[in-house]
Structure 1
Amino acid sequence: MYHHVKKLMFTVRVDEPDPRFGNMLLEQFGGANGELAAAMQYSIQGLNCEDPDRKDLLMDIGTEELSHLEVVGSLARLHLKPSKFDREAAEADPLIAIAGGGGVNLFNSQGNAWTADYLKITGELDVDLRSNIAAEARAKIVYERLINFCDDAGTKDALQFLMTREITHMKAFALALESMGKPTFSIGRIAPTPGLVDQFFNDSTGSGDNGEIDTRGPWNEGDGWVFMESPALQSGDPGAAPSIVAESSPSEAFVGFDDLLIDQLRDLLHAEKQLTKALPEMIEAARYDQLRELFTIHLAETEAQVDRLDECFGLLGKKPRAKPCKGMQGLVEEGGEVIKESAKKDDAAADLALIGAVQRVEHYEIAGYTTARNLAQQLRYGAVVALLSKTLAEEENADQLLNQVARSLMSVAKMPAAIEQTLSEDEPTAG
């Protein structure tokens, strides 16, 4: 039951009424973060709560919020009082002066009516406690802003009291949540999808006009995070699905798949290490700056890909031991022959030959990483899938960039002499 005592929880005093400030105070009377919303939210949560200890907490604070509502209402009424008889004060807010008679009502500072939509009630105690912590934090900020705009000493004292109690309630709710002993991110009863839950999507990329940049921090790296470039950019094929781990149920074990995945990774590790030695020769052999720059960038990517493979082995509990990759060895040897044979070719032809050699390498790697990623997906190794997907996207992107450079070189290359001769013979002569 409720019982009203004819005494305010905090005695209010207003020396200099300010109708405009009274209007601001209505934000904490009938606003989304106000005292009525808090009182109703906590009390209804308490009615629904089957935990007797935390039910008591919710009802205690919910009831206190009703007392806060009375304090805020009394403050607002004193500040709004001049609008009952003063024309200038009434013009500050005709809704209050004319429709409300210069008193308080269930409106916020903008004249919007209070609504139960403000309440956050889920019936899950830990979720509701988190909502309450956030609600108290928002209310604290509103009181802080009101204090900053207030010139009346007595009003400031009351607002300071109310603001302080928001922190008190935050502490109580936080400790109640902690005492439940639930892991921080254990929400509800259905577990999140392994792998997907640890993927951070870098979906806002590039640099902004006001200096915005992509950043890294504890919110997206370290401590189990897998940083992924925007899923929309993971594949050069517009129709390809992004490499998001989104299976809803664990798959059955596949005999031999783990060993096959490790074998594929060891093959790729040796392949990448060979490339880190071969690419510097390609960089030196390239004639055009654009191609040389592309090779340089891909060398840095390849070195990072070696690190990613090492990380994959760590996630799988295996040592990063390479297995001789004869396929890549053959491709690297062919690349060396291309460099030697291109010595006597003109610049465009020499670089086109280099591009052909490197694209064979890219296609070999794309096939290898696709196989390894698919195996990891089947085995539900989400973090490994994310790492392999990033490398696969880099290889596909490198292949596309090589195509672009090749087309550029072809457009500036001279036509073969035989074709030039044929064209000149077919042209009509003057006269």
Structure 2
Amino acid sequence: MATPGPTRSANTIRFFELLLGQFRGVEGELPSAILYLLNATGEPEPDRKAILSRIANDKVENAGVLAAMLVHIAKGRKGRFSRNPPFDELNALLTRQPIKTNSGSLASAYTDKVRAIEADQHYQEPYCEAPVAYLRQYVGLEDRQIAMYTQLLALTSTRSFTDALVLAQRRQLEHRDTLAGLLQKALDAQGVP
């Protein structure tokens, strides 16, 4: 695994790995933004469509901040990090350095998730026709992302990082609450208590 630097502490390496997972892992900000946007494109209910699109945009912003943090650490930069994601540097980081991410295991994890949805939640095509199923999944996803931000916050004391992570976690809390509200409305519409 390429570490952020040869003299980095175990905490910094763990922080970097978790940050990378929160950025592009199976349940990271970038993949979940794409998932929400895809769901929004087929969502027939205008309020849900607008909310999913807004949350996806927030997730893209969070992913940009995480990307900027990754580059800042990998380049060994000091001081506050720029919140404008340096995508050219990020691309170089992710493609030139052998960062410990197995594309096969990522693809397998996505496949396993789809199978779980199909088996346990009676997946329908299109997915948006089963709002209770996907909203339950999204509430759980937000909970796991909130927990990941808590782990990240425990591993850093760098003020600019903690400020950015706290803001991202607050967004996740808002997302979860908003999605839980949508879930309750969908359950009420089905007459489920």
Determine if the TM-score, normalized by the shorter chain, exceeds 0.5. Answer: yes
Of 34, 38, 41 in structure 2, the residue corresponding to residue 40 of structure 1 is 34
CA distance in 1, matches of 2:139, 2:100: 25
Partner of 1:154: 160
Q: Contact conserved, 1:147 with 1:156, CA < 8 A, in 2?
A: yes
CA distance in 2, matches of 1:151, 1:79: 13
Change (3 A) 1:184 1:153: farther
For the pair 1:111 / 2:101, whether they are aligned, the reply is: yes
Partner of 2:21: 27
For the pair 1:69 / 2:75, whether they are aligned, the reply is: no
Q: Contact conserved, 1:35 with 1:65, CA < 8 A, in 2?
A: yes
Q: Give the match's secondary structure for 1:143.
A: helix
Provide TM-score, normalisation by structure 2: 0.68
Change (3 A) 1:150 1:166: same
Q: Give the match's secondary structure for 1:55.
A: helix
Q: Give the match's secondary structure for 2:76.
A: helix
Q: Give the match's secondary structure for 1:111.
A: coil
Per-residue deviation at 1:183? Answer: 4.1
CA distance in 2, matches of 1:104, 1:26: 10
Gaps in structure 2 of 5+ consecutive residues: 1-7, 78-90, 118-122
Per-residue deviation at 1:140? Answer: 0.6
CA distance in 1, matches of 2:45, 2:157: 44
Partner of 2:120: none
Of 140, 150, 162 in structure 1, the residue corresponding to residue 146 of structure 2 is 140
Equivalenced residues, count: 149
Deviations 1:306-327 (A, max 9, x none): xxxxxxxxxxxxxxxxxxxxxx
Q: Contact conserved, 2:58 with 2:171, CA < 8 A, in 1?
A: no
Q: Give the match's secondary structure for 1:82.
A: coil
CA distance in 1, matches of 2:94, 2:75: 10
Q: How does 1:198-347 map to 2 (within 5 A)?
A: none
CA distance in 2, matches of 1:141, 1:78: 23
Partner of 1:130: 136
Q: Greater helix share, 1 or 2? A: 2
Q: Contact conserved, 1:23 with 1:76, CA < 8 A, in 2?
A: no
Deviations 1:79-121 (A, max 9, x none): 11139xxxxxxxxxxxxxxxx75x246xxx8423354817667
Q: Contact conserved, 2:37 with 2:56, CA < 8 A, in 1?
A: yes
Q: Relative contact order, CA 8 A, sep 6+: which one is greater?
A: 2
CA distance in 2, matches of 1:69, 1:169: 15
CA distance in 1, matches of 2:41, 2:28: 20
CA distance in 2, matches of 1:171, 1:137: 10
Identity %: 23
CA distance in 2, matches of 1:117, 1:70: 22
Change (3 A) 1:143 1:27: same
Q: Contact conserved, 1:23 with 1:80, CA < 8 A, in 2?
A: no
